[in-house]
């Protein structure tokens, strides 16, 4: 069986693909480990200049897989260990020298939105949407989103979005500044590849240094946020509000 993350090379561009289409590419612990391992391998591959992160099938990702821990609820320390897998994968995207583009088709929900914003550039189809639905599940925003959105949008706009957990269209994402290009669905892959090739044509060293300097300037704030969420998020999973949200999700997915 093909792993839940795989790489496809197209010259100097590497497609890094989340591969669980039967679950809408929902993110689980093993997928996050594989994502980090593949990024490490791509870092060492001199032929690869730019990486495009995408989902298999018609969506980027439905966010964290709420079925991965079926059975007894996780204890706080178990939730923290699982969250650390997600955080290490996000950090790998940020720290790899090579530019990473997120190509969002369909939707990027919850942690998948965070993962997309951790990338250096984001393209999206006209029909795509981003949904930071954390508060609707009774948990805090994860994977650095509480650092990414305020830095991109300003605190007031970021608070409104995170407090309400509302969906954002690709067009709104472009207006707010966290989507670089919005493309018609049939042109998304080709348009993203063209952007990747444009970036790949630049001096690799200048790209690496530019990415490193920009991301390092944001690192202290991001580190503070991820450390805080690694305590707050496991705490929230022990609340009645989260258990009720999980029950609603399970009832809605019954038979699916």
In terms of residue numbers, what domain contains 80?
Answer: 5-200
**207 found inside a domain:** no
**253 found inside a domain:** no
Q: For 77-133, write each residue's pLDDT tens digit.
A: 888 888 899 999 999 999 999 999 999 999 999 999 999 999 999 999 999 999 999
pLDDT of the residue at 21: 96
* CATH number assigned to the domain comprising residue 147: 3.90.226.10
Total structural domains within the chain? 1
**49 found inside a domain:** yes
**30 found inside a domain:** yes
**240 found inside a domain:** no
Residue 256: is its pLDDT beyond 60? no
**148 found inside a domain:** yes
Residue 76: is its pLDDT beyond 80? no
**228 found inside a domain:** no
> With contact defined as beta carbons under 8 Å apart, do 89 and 32 qualify?
yes
pLDDT of the residue at 131: 97
Residue 71: is its pLDDT beyond 90? no
**152 found inside a domain:** yes
Structure pTM?
0.93
């Amino acid at each position: 069986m093909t792993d839940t993350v795989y790489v496809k090379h197209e010259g100097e561009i590497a497609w890094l693909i989340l591969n669980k289409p039967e679950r809408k590419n929902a993110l689980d612990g093993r997928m996050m480990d594989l994502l980090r391992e593949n990024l490490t391998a791509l870092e060492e591959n001199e032929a690869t200049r730019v990486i495009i992160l995408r989902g298999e099938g018609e969506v980027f990702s439905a966010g964290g897989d709420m079925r991965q821990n079926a059975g007894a609820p996780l204890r706080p320390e178990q939730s923290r260990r699982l969250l650390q897998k997600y955080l290490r994968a996000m950090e790998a995207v940020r720290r790899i020298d090579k530019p990473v583009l997120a190509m969002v088709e369909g939707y990027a929900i919850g942690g998948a939105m965070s993962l997309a914003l951790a990338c250096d550039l984001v393209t999206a189809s006209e029909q795509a949407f981003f949904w930071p639905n954390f508060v609707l599940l009774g948990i805090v925003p994860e994977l650095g989103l509480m650092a990414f959105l305020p830095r991109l949008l300003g605190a007031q706009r970021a608070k409104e979005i995170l407090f309400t957990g509302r969906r954002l269209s690709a067009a709104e994402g472009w207006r707010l500044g966290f989507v670089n290009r919005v493309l018609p669905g049939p042109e998304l892959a080709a348009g993203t590849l063209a952007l990747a090739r444009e970036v790949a044509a630049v001096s690799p060293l200048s790209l690496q240094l530019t990415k490193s300097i920009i991301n390092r300037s944001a690192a202290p704030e991001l580190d503070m946020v991820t450390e805080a969420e690694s305590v707050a998020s496991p705490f929230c999973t022990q609340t009645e509000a989260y258990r009720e949200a999980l029950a609603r999700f399970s009832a809605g997915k019954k038979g699916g």
